[in-house]
Amino acid sequence: MTTTVADQNDSHADSDEETGIETLGHANRFATWDSEFRYDGRIRVPMGVRIKAVKYSYFGTDKPDMIAASRVERGRGGIDQEYEVIDTTFLADTDVITFTLRGDLNVDTDPRPAYSRTYTIRVEVTLDDGTVRNAYPKIEVLVPNWRREGDGRMVGRPFVRLPYDTGWGGKPNSQAGFGCVSDTGLIEDRFIIDLVNPRQGESGVESNHSDCVYYQLVHEDGTASSYTPTPKKLENMVGHKGSGTEHKVLLGRINLRETGDSPGYYRFLVWPQSVDADDKVSKLSWDPANAEDAFQLGSVYYRYTAPRSAAFTVSPGGPPDVTLTPAGSIGYPGVRLDAAADGTVPRQNVRVSLPRGAGLRFVAEGNPGYQLTVQSAQGIMKVYPGTSSADGQTLTFANVDLALAGRDATSRAWVAVTATDSAPAGDTSLNFQVGDRTASSTPIHVVNQASG
């Protein structure tokens, strides 16, 4: 790799998921024409904690301006300043949240006399417990054109565009190939490659012809996808000088499940190629044997779940609505469980979380302390002991029999809570996670003594 101008603050180390943000991938290199931000990250949080807000530095870290991203539904693939929570994994004592972030940047200053300039972008995630996590990905911004007089040798290297908005086509837009969600493994018309060579057709100079790239899908663990075990050559492309999009190529159907690839996060990497007048690979080309030379143009989160033998649903229910007064009596909010298929639903892990800021707490009722009660349709009740998170916000119950045997079987489950003396009046609910299904509990009405 050649030297670039790095006038941003490089003192930030990459954060990991437990204390900061683990960077899974990002749009790491593009020309000044495509000043856009794409970022995929992962954080590990205490049980029940969720993302409250996401911001990033619009000009890079040398300026304080931060721009806020709005949360949108998973899989939307929009074109504004947005983030999506792609996946939440529930572990024994923590949750792991994977998210994707997209938006505009203002990092399009001409880097000359250098051929590129490196910026550091700050990503700031605020959690609903008040803590703030940061990551500092770096991006390299290239000169998109070439001047025969005055430009240094490295100016005018070939590059691939970072598609944005709708100008390149694609489904549902041109940038939907970054942060793409595929629960089946199928990816279609998402990955777009537009090859630009600022020296294309110029006589008497090196690197004056481009007509191919290499590309590869790489899993988050560093292994190559079976679809591209080695970087795959895409030939017969039209390298061009201008900013028009008519020569782009959309990759066709890719199915990671059919190729036997493991679920998880994949980066879509591209290496632009160029040759000299003697038709030999130019030294200004990007080396597909070097991961650092890759342009990340997209990403996909593949989450495949095999069909279940005995499905069930979780919905608000259980005991009637619960009314609590501050420092008053105990209530029992819960959920209704329904079998949706033949067979016995296997035992599940259950997690129950308090709403933050509502002034509720779990009640340990005697021995064995915190407990989950499951009542079958026949009225048979079983009690399961639970463990509390360090902050008291979440209870976890392991290996719970849901009392669901056969289609249309039903049962109920609940826990004990009370309102603290500082609990504000209003309506709220608990969050129940049963296996991989979630639902709110019976409504909880907190009223003051006068109105109760």
Rounded Cα distance between 373 and 375, Å, is 7
- Using the CB atoms, write b or e for 329-367: b if 16+ within 10 Å: eebbbbbbbbbeeeeebeebebbbbbbbebbbebbeeee
Residue 322 CA: distances (Å) to CA of 337, 338, 414, 419: 18, 21, 11, 11
**pTM > 0.75:** no
Q: What pLDDT, on the 0 to 100 scale, is given for residue 345?
A: 86
Which tokens is 140 given? 């390299």
Domain covering 312-446 in this structure, CATH number: 2.60.40.740
Among candidates 214, 207, 448, which has minimal Cα distance to 325?
448
Rounded Cα distance between 402 and 35, Å, is 52
Sheet holding 426-428, edge to edge: 322-324, 444-446, 426-428
Question: What are the domain boundaries of the chain?
Answer: 22-302, 312-446
Containing 101, the helix (H) or strand (E) segment is strand 94-104
Q: Tens place of pLDDT for every residue, the chain, 452 residues?
A: 333 334 433 444 445 656 789 999 999 999 999 999 999 999 999 888 999 999 999 998 777 789 999 999 988 888 999 999 999 888 777 889 999 999 999 999 999 999 999 999 999 999 999 999 999 999 999 999 999 998 989 999 999 999 999 999 988 999 999 999 998 899 998 999 999 999 999 999 999 999 999 999 999 999 999 999 999 999 999 999 999 999 999 998 999 999 989 999 999 999 999 999 999 999 999 999 999 999 999 999 998 655 544 688 999 986 678 999 998 889 999 999 999 877 788 888 899 999 988 999 999 986 768 999 999 999 999 999 998 888 888 999 988 999 998 888 999 999 999 999 999 999 999 999 998 788 999 999 999 865 44
- Residue labelled with tokens 């499951």: 374
